[in-house]
Structure 1
Amino acid sequence: MSAKLGLTSFGGPIAHLGYFHDEYVRRRKWMDEKSYADLVALCQFLPGPASSQVGIGIGLVRAGLWGGFIAWLGFTFPSVIASVLFAWLMQGFDIASSGWIHGLKIVAVAIVAHAILGMGQKLAPDRNRASIAVAAAAIALLWQTAYAQFLIIILAGILGLWLYHKSSVMQTHSLHITISKRFAIGCLALFVLLLFGLPVIRQSTGIEWIALFDSFYRSGSLVFGGGHVVLPMLEREVVPTGWVSGADFLAGYGAAQAVPGPLFTFASYLGALSGGAAGAAIATVAIFLPAFLLVVGALPFWNVLRSSPKIQGALVGINAAVVGILIAALYDPLWTTAIQAPVDFALALLLFILLVFWKLPPWIVVLSGALGGVIIGYIN
């Protein structure tokens, strides 16, 4: 069943949650409405790909650890295959400078702008949260280091705790979890051990595959807000190191919008470009492993955490910072690379209108952008 969703779930994380609700709650009745809402809230709270984490959580609640793994594999594998095939096409035909690739870069601009609009209205609607978002964007743009995003999120959480610690706590309902708290603590400990231990091993050994695993594991560990927000983190990990060129990075990101399943499988494309099939496997496992460890580790404690106004206050600040990080990604590397002439901006506006007001499916917008890029190539 998860494989069916992996093959047909276009439209990004919000759409994925709708597919899950329709299939697992409404049709199959594997979870009730309250439990599903609690699970979605948990996965929004954790860093990583929210829709994938919800799928993993449904599998865990339904059939334990193996159920979580199978649910993740079915939902993710079709997108991984499509991403790797596109990477091999890029290598085999040297098409990085083609007009349609330029169009895909412009598609990425429109899609991220659309994401910012929706997230900003929901996560930064007032003066305090908008200010946090703008400050986060400025820091992300002016201080481009590997740990900048992590520090932004920490500071935003502290600000949120200070500003919103007295906010009312939403009513919660308990999830029925069979995972033991001891095993959950072990998963959380492994998550932290890998997060801080891999950079040390990377520096001391210089082994390429460890460096690759570290880069993608850290990206999956420190990203709040889902697939679009992982863009600046991944770009700073793979482009300066020379694993992937800037042009190939943005071309793949544009193409990823036309692929069903989680956007985090963009890592599979990057891994395939940098290290072939082995690189794709390492990148895929590394970027999703934090999501699995965090869901397993947090589920047994979620009923307690959700009742804390301090936790929810910190989350308000973190969510606002996510909007700012996404604004920074819209400018660099997306805008600075894709929008090079007035005609590029005109195409980006057209694609944005198709997404926001015409509400066309993303795959149609992607194809329109690719065609527009070809036309621009002939004009120029």
Structure 2
Amino acid sequence: MALINFSYNNRCNYRKRYSPRRSVKEYLIVDSNGTAIEHVPKSKLKVLLEVLFVSTKLGFTSFGGPIAHLGYFHHEYIRRRKWMDERSYADLVALCQFLPGPASSQVGIGIGVIRGGLLGGLIAWLGFTLPSVIALVLFAFLLQGFDIGSAGWIHGLKIVAVAIVAQAIVGMGQKLTPDRNRATIAIIATSATLLWQTAVSQVLIIVLAGIVGVILYRKTAIPAAPNLSIPISRSFAIICLSLFFGLLIVLPLLRQFGVSGWLPLFDSFYRAGSLVFGGGHVVLPLLEREVVPTGWISKADFLAGYGAAQAVPGPLFTFAGYLGAMINGVKGTLVATTAIFLPAFLLIVGSLPFWNSLRKSPKVQGALVGINAAVVGILLAALYNPLWITAILAPADFALASILFLMLIFWKLPPWVVVITGAVGGTLIGLI
């Protein structure tokens, strides 16, 4: 079998392997010793199917909110499949923290775009989002009269989220806070996040950490950021950013001129998705002001859907699917879900081509050193509040969390096994 070598990130080789018995070409990323790191299929269809499979699995198993989602992504995309290096993942998370909208969904879309182009980003979003949309609509219609939030298995899933985030903090902390200065930035970010809890605090903490990073590290020799191949042109990115701002301005104007049909619904959910900073829960009061005073849905039905939203995996923004279904059935679900996620898609696709270049600037690299340390601190704060204080309520909860953490870190079991174990453990704890 013949091998042709190409350089890859100065540390690896990119090998094209031809099989004499098959016409299918395969690509391997190997280290300097020739050990295979990653298999990349030549077929674009295979790449897209892989993105769909992995993102759908995450859509079925990612419980615990946006911070936990980043932990699941880190385990599946980075640690297990090595689709990105640790630093590039942290840089992508930092970018999505700056942007309005659902940060975890934007990270997933960004990884899908980098892996499989624009279609890959769309498929990654569908895989991660569709399971929770379907589940949430079913919960909303079939289980509105039940107290889902008090179920033992739901409590077990909250404990799973604690273990997942703890694993992400360990992995990212080792890479991103290896020295005294960065560890200090992380702890200050943790303290500030816990003591100053507002919708804009997280963004300001990241900005300040970036400034500190520029001051401390702008003249420090920092390893060059790995080159990410972004299969999107800057001209298309500008179109996406223009469309984002254009819709934000034009839709309310059209609504004021009395355009009816689906446009008012689309406008309400698009604005809610465009103006949210600080996590998925912040979107709830925005949506309440859009759908309850207008008479589209009663406050009792709104709260019932919110209770169901706590029980499903995936992004909390899929709550829009429930609201759309209650307003106008399946059509309402499609309109509301598309509208609330469209800003996130336009922003991440519009930002990635420019971000890939900016992150190579020495000053930007210095800022990212500080920002990435702050991201670790924000994750640590989220481990305590809201995850720890809502999940670890008794010694049995801590014991289960320790077992799940052991399964992830040392046994290296797949997340779905940990999720099932946590759900069963939470049910047993509820029976004690």
Contact kept in structure 1, 2:92 and 2:110, CA below 8 Å: yes
Partner in structure 2 of residue 378 of structure 1: 431
Aligned AA (2:137): W
Looking at structure 1, the residues matched to 413 and 149 of structure 2 have their Cα atoms a distance apart, in angstroms, of 27
Cα 1:214–1:78 change in 2 (3 A) is same
Give 1:3 shift: 4.0
Please state how far the C-alpha of 1:339 moved relative to its aligned partner: 1.5
When residues 288 and 137 of structure 1 are mapped into structure 2, their CA distance, relative to the original with a 3 A threshold, is farther
In the other structure, the counterpart of 1:5 is 51
Change (3 A) 1:274 1:135: farther
Match of 2:120 in 1: 71
Q: Residues 185 and 209 of structure 2 are in contact (CA less than 8 Å); yes or no, is this contact kept in structure 1?
A: yes
Where does residue 411 of structure 2 map in the other structure? 358
**Aligned AA for 1:270?**
F
Question: Residue 280 of structure 1: CA displacement?
Answer: 7.1
- 1:64 aligned partner: none
Are 2:284 and 1:238 aligned? yes
Q: Does 1:328 pair with 2:381?
A: yes
Q: Would the aligned equivalents of 2:186 and 2:373 in 1 still touch at CA under 8 Å?
A: yes
The sequence identity of aligned pairs, in percent, is 42
1:326–1:302: structure 2 CA closer, same or farther, 3 Å change rule? Answer: closer
Structure 2-normalised TM-score? 0.64
Measure, in 2, the Cα distance between the counterparts of 1:288 and 1:53.
14
Show structure 2 runs of 5+ residues with no match. 1-44, 59-71, 97-102, 257-263, 289-298
Matches within 5 A, 1:163-312: 163-171=216-224, 181-188=234-241, 212-219=269-276, 233-238=279-284, 248=308, 250-252=310-312, 256=313, 265-276=314-325, 278=332, 282-283=336-337, 286-287=340-341, 289-299=343-353, 301=354, 304-312=357-365
Tell me the secondary structure at the aligned position of residue 198 of structure 2.
Answer: coil
C-alpha displacement of 1:54: 3.0
Q: Quick check: 2:280–2:317 contact (8 Å CA) kept in 1?
A: no
One-letter amino acid of the counterpart of residue 16, structure 1:
Y
Alpha-carbon offset, residue 330 of structure 1: 1.3
Gaps of 5+ in 1: 23-32, 61-67, 223-231, 257-264
Query: What is the CA distance between 1:57 and its match in structure 2?
Result: 3.5
Residue 339 (structure 1) aligns with? 392
- Partner SS state of residue 154, structure 2: helix
Cα distance in 2 for partners of 1:273, 1:110 equals: 29
Q: C-alpha root-mean-square deviation of aligned residues, in Å? A: 3.8
Shift of 1:152: 1.0
- Report the Cα distance in structure 1 between the residues aligned to 2:116 and 2:355, rounded to whole angstroms: 17
| Per-residue deviation, 1:239 | 7.3
Deviations 1:283-334 (A, max 9, x none): 56544643543434442x4564344110100011111111111112111111
Structure 2 equivalent of residue 53 of structure 1? 110
Checking the alignment, whether the CA contact within 8 Å between 2:114 and 2:230 is kept in structure 1 is no
1:133 to 183, 186, 189: 186
Separation in 2, partners of 1:155, 1:3: 40
Cα distance in structure 2, aligned partners of 1:303 and 1:341: 45
Query: Which string of whole-angstrom CA distances, capped at 9 and with x for unpartnered residues, describes residues 241-288 of structure 1?
Result: 686688655533xxx3xxxxxxxx413533334544646754565446
Distance 2:380 2:400 in 1: 20
* 1:59–1:111 CA distance, 2 compared to 1 (3 A): closer
Q: Which residue of 1 aligns with 2:77?
A: 16
* Paired AA for residue 106 in structure 1: I
Return the structure number with greater helix share.
1
Point out the structure with max Rg over C-alpha.
2
- CA distance 1:326–1:247, change in 2 (3 Å): farther
- The residue that corresponds to 1:158 in the other structure is 211
Aligned length, in residue pairs: 330
2:201 alignment counterpart: 148
Give the C-alpha shift of residue 121 in structure 1: 1.3
TM-score normalised by structure 1 residue count: 0.72
Greater RCO, CA 8 A, separation 6+? 1
Would you tell me which structure has more strand in proportion to its own residues? 2
State the secondary structure of the residue aligned to 2:279.
Answer: helix
CA 1:191–1:138 in 2, change beyond 3 Å: closer, same or farther? Answer: farther
1:188 Cα deviation from its structure 2 partner:
4.1
**Is the Cα–Cα contact under 8 Å of residues 108 and 125 in structure 2 kept in the other structure?**
no
Paired letter, 1:84: V
| CA distance in 2 between partners of 1:174 and 1:360 (Å) | 31
